[in-house]
Structure 1
Amino acid sequence: MAAYPPPEWDVTLSLPAVHATAMVLVDYALGGSSTPTAWPHAVASRVPAAVKSEWMLLRPIVAHGTVWRDFVLFRLGRDDAAQHEWRAYREWTARLPDEEMQALVVEGVLSGLRYYRENMKPMPEVEDCLAAVGTRAPDRQVLAERNVLPTAVRALAASWGAPVEAVPELAAHPPRLRRALLRMMDAVWELGFGRLWTERLPRLRRAAVAATRRLEEAAAPRRSGAGGGGAAVPAGVDELVLAATGRQLASSVLDKMRSASRVVFFPGLELGHFI
């Protein structure tokens, strides 16, 4: 196993991260999957049909909402108003230029096709699309070529069993894509997340403070050797995760995290025993 330097770490309270995670859970409920608590199903049962129909075309692009969450967190600074205020977060999303919406599509394709290659058996329709793209593993440079992205989106849609005409059409129309995203964001907020966030905010703040304290203790260098007189040994990512969450992740997940230069923890809502 390659030796990686210990990652930098941080604990932050992020409305977009928690809200996007709630969207993921509601998406699971819309698809009939189980969720850690009953809350996502209660919300999903009240999502308007028009919002749901557009979301079902968007979900392959944003991978239930996980790609959207990463997209936002890579673009917002820790102290941005959009990290903490719903109105600021929604306005930030509504003002994303068309180029950024296309960048979201690219990230969705990269993530979705990576999952397909690593976790799914080859599917004829997907493979035909990828053959037209010219590679089973297109990168950002390939996806920037003229007429390649629509075919890659078609491959993504096919891997999800989603409409292979309608999903690329949505992806090619940034205003419509943005509208579908905002409508789902609004639905989750208005159907219960807004109240939940307000009620649980003090608890989330306490959780962030407590996790920071535990991480500071866990990250303090320890001395190796029986008498503690050896070299300083920094905490590994597995120790940091355990300190922050009280739980251990699967080794396959930890292996992927070990190459990260920075790990950010944020408290969530309605996750049950999941992290």
Structure 2
Amino acid sequence: MSGPVPDLADARPAPLLRVAEPTLAATMPTAMLLVDYALAWKAMPTPELQALAEQVPADIVEESWPVRAALAHGAVLRAVLLHHLPAEHAGHTDWPSLRRWIAEWPDEFVLGLIDWGVDSVMHYGKPPRDPAPTAARITFLSAPSPAMRRDAAEVLRAWNVPNAAERANELLDATTFRSALLNLLDVIWDGWLDRVWRESLDAMRTAVASTPSPPPGCGGAQWISMVTGLRPDEQYAAAAEAATELVVMPSPGLGRSLSLFADQTTWVLFTPHREPPWWSTTTPSSGRSAGTTVRTNGGERTGISVGRLAALAPTMHALGDRTRLAITLHLLDNGPLTMQQLADTLEVHQSTISRQVTALRRAGMVTVQDDRRIAVDRDAIRQTCQTLLTALD
């Protein structure tokens, strides 16, 4: 007899959930990604990373433009290292060993890496392909592919690289590309990661060793919370629930943010926090399996995704100017006003008001109505403030 619940329903295998030892194969390119974000003045999980970006020599910044573009900030390099660095290689924990391994890549592999990176950037945000390309299968190329030659300049233009057509040639030369990549990674290691890696490696290994097995019926988002002590935001939670294999791995420099990426396996990076304690076992209750570990110090902390945090940068930059802040606060208090009304009230020349309103419009904080009055976007400000408050919880 049929009821409100169907007799048969489609199901999928339970996800494979695990925690992995920290590795420079993930940490080094993640640091590269964050440095590239910082160079674009996007918000950082920790102030140290912004300071590191400011220390990168100008010639290295200039030299690495095409590399950072073709490797999608560093995301492409991260996928390649995780797939190709041998499991027992010393480079997982030792930068000189990892550096030598990268330096010894054959030119054919480097060209294949660039080809895969350019293709990944060109297809970013487009419908997924079947089968999806993966870093696990880099094609060795004896010469740049026609797609590389066609798309290299377009990728650099999308990254706002000056002289994109001319500098695209740097993506067609394996030696130039490899040298620029290693120079940038050396700066990251010497300027920050060497010290942080040594200081945090024992704590990260302890975090892995102390993680219990996932309880029966554990989902991806719950697994992230159990291991990290952070609750993933909505986008990350949805991706975690859809994963067939989810690996959580400690990595320094992320603060209270999480970094999620997928290439066959879905990976989530987090930075362990020593205080308050991570684990406490509760008495089994409705909705929880025996042995489930939860936070017991006043509630969960939310893991803000790195991408969500970086998206705050336009708003934060807009509010960082005294005149723009004054305009925003006055509009919040008084509602939509004309340029002349703002100029009269704030005692600022109208040309200055016009220039600053343009900057606020570009940041998505104000709009110009049909009657030419300026209106503040309360939702944009509210979302920024709420994200910051969530990160502080």
Q: Which runs of 5+ in 2 are unaligned?
A: 1-9, 259-393
Judge conservation of contact 1:110–1:139 (CA < 8 Å) in 2: no
Aligned-partner Cα distance in 2 for 1:76–1:139: 19
Judge conservation of contact 2:17–2:223 (CA < 8 Å) in 1: no
- Partner of 2:123: helix, strand, or coil? helix
Sequence identity, in percent? Answer: 28
- Partner of 1:78: helix, strand, or coil? coil
- State the TM-score, normalizing by the size of structure 1: 0.77
Aligned-partner Cα distance in 1 for 2:120–2:11: 24
Are 1:165 and 2:148 an aligned pair?
A: no
Residues 265 and 152 of structure 1: is their aligned pair in 2 closer, same or farther, counting only changes over 3 Å? same
Are 1:198 and 2:193 an aligned pair?
A: no
Give the structure 1 partner of residue 264 of structure 2: none
- Partner of 1:16: helix, strand, or coil? helix
Among 210, 220, 228, the residue aligned to 1:237: 220
- State the TM-score, normalizing by the size of structure 2: 0.55
Deviation at 1:160, TM superposition (A): 2.2
Aligned-partner Cα distance in 2 for 1:254–1:112: 24
Aligned residue identity for 2:156 = A
Give the structure 2 partner of residue 155 of structure 1: 154
Residues 2 and 113 of structure 1: is their aligned pair in 2 closer, same or farther, counting only changes over 3 Å? farther
Alpha-carbon displacement from aligned partner over 1:90-139 (angstroms, at most 9, x marks no partner): 10110111122122212312321232437xxxxxxxxxxxxxxxxxxx97
Residues 110 and 167 of structure 1: is their aligned pair in 2 closer, same or farther, counting only changes over 3 Å? same
Give the structure 1 partner of residue 189 of structure 2: 189
Are 1:220 and 2:229 an aligned pair?
A: no
Give the structure 2 partner of residue 253 of structure 1: 236
Give the structure 2 partner of residue 269 of structure 1: 252
Name the one with the larger strand percent.
2
1:99-138 alignment runs, 5 A limit: 99-117=108-126
Higher-RCO chain (CA-CA 8 Å, sequence separation at least 6): 1
Are 1:97 and 2:96 an aligned pair?
A: no
**Higher Cα Rg, which structure:** 2
RMSD: 2.7
Are 1:58 and 2:67 an aligned pair?
A: yes
Judge conservation of contact 1:23–1:185 (CA < 8 Å) in 2: yes
Aligned-partner Cα distance in 2 for 1:58–1:166: 14
Residues 247 and 4 of structure 1: is their aligned pair in 2 closer, same or farther, counting only changes over 3 Å? farther
Residues 109 and 146 of structure 1: is their aligned pair in 2 closer, same or farther, counting only changes over 3 Å? closer
Aligned residue identity for 1:70 = A
Judge conservation of contact 1:26–1:43 (CA < 8 Å) in 2: yes
Aligned residue identity for 2:101 = W
Give the structure 2 partner of residue 39 of structure 1: 48
Residues 245 and 139 of structure 1: is their aligned pair in 2 closer, same or farther, counting only changes over 3 Å? closer
Name the one with the larger helix percent.
1
Give the structure 2 partner of residue 84 of structure 1: 93
Aligned-partner Cα distance in 2 for 1:5–1:109: 34
